[in-house]
Amino acid sequence: MNTKITALFDNIWQQYLAVTPSAAKVHQLLSTGRDLVNDHVAYRTFNLDNVGIDKLARHLLNLGYKQCGEYHFEAKKLYAKHFEHPDNTLPKVFISELLVEKLSKPAQQIINRIVAEVDAGKVDDQSFLYSGTHWQVSYEEYQTLLKESEYAAWLAAWGYRANHFTVSINHLEDFDCIIELNQAVKDGGFTLNAAGGEIKGDAEVLLEQSSTMADKISVKFSDQVAQIPSCFYEFAKRYPKHCGDLYSGFVAASADKIFESTNVQ
């Protein structure tokens, strides 16, 4: 396994774990310790020149990843791509970006202001993928964004970090069925994302997904401290294509509902 990639995802994981304490409990609940494989990691960004998908993806391409698919989410005003490494034991990476120009002028002004504070040199460093926020934003601004786009509000509050990690059900020793896994997660005290049903997708589209609702963590805004949704954990089961290889892409209709795992409850 590529040690540079392993080190990168270790850093991304530690940053994610710091604001997603439930993740460690999910590990204990589902894994024997040897069988937990990360199917994919997801990122959010804005479609602005200095922080767009291609800026984040460049770090992955430098490590041998390839672009493999693109997706459109018209209702949420998002565009996304996913990336895979030739070594299929390494996690896929799903990066989405908000189409800022489709928001109101007040929302655009907030986003343009905070992104203008991002230092270009930091974007060029691989550590940008686990760097958090590079700006100050008020709780009032967060609420302004939240009224239009939960995605925008989340990104303004949390910045650059993994939005979620994903357990590969295909690799678990004790679970093969997503229904049984979901029940175990609920029995463990976690709330599942029920938008569009607890299970998104099916064997026909070659991918089944479910996810927890995001943890709530205190964030220090410029004007106050408030508890808001942070990150969540996803679960994915992939089915074989006609050639026998597991399907490695994503299903836009399912991903659309997975985004709602960070909705304010």
Condensed to tens digits (0 to 9), the pLDDT of residues 129-186 reads 999 999 999 999 999 999 999 999 999 999 999 999 999 999 999 999 999 999 999 9
* C-alpha span between 173 and 128 (Å, rounded): 34
Condensed to tens digits (0 to 9), the pLDDT of residues 49-96 reads 999 999 999 999 999 999 999 999 999 999 999 999 999 889 999 999
* C-alpha span between 226 and 236 (Å, rounded): 31
Separation of first and last alpha carbons in the chain: 40
Task: Label residue 1 by pLDDT band (50, 70, 90).
Answer: low
* C-alpha span between 29 and 26 (Å, rounded): 5
CATH number of the structural domain 3-262: 3.10.180.50
pLDDT of residue 78: 98
Task: Label residue 108 by pLDDT band (50, 70, 90).
Answer: very high
The residue behind tokens 């479910």 is: 210
Condensed to tens digits (0 to 9), the pLDDT of residues 133-147 reads 999 999 999 999 999
Position 260 pLDDT exceeds 80: yes
Position 104 pLDDT exceeds 60: yes
SS (H, E, C) the chain: CCHHHHHHHHHHHHHHHHCCCHHHHHHHHHCCCCCCCEEEEEEEEECCCCCCHHHHHHHHHCCCCEEEEEEEECCCCEEEEEEECCCCCCCEEEEEEECHHHCCHHHHHHHHHHHHCCCHHHHCCHHHHHCECCCCCCHHHHHHHHHHCHHHHHHHHHCECCCEEEEEHHHCCCCCCHHHHHHHHHHCCCCECCCCCCCEEEHHHCEEEEEECCCEEEEECCCCEEEEECCEEEEEEECECCCCCECCCCCHHHHHHHHHHHCCC
Task: Label residue 102 by pLDDT band (50, 70, 90).
Answer: very high
* C-alpha span between 95 and 116 (Å, rounded): 20
Give 81's strand partners. Answer: 70, 95
Please report, for the chain, the start and end positions of each structural domain, with discontinuous segments joined by +.
Answer: 3-262
Position 33 pLDDT exceeds 80: no
User: Whose CA is closest to 254, among 52, 82, 135, 63?
Assistant: 82
Residues 237, 199 contacting (CB under 8 angstroms): no
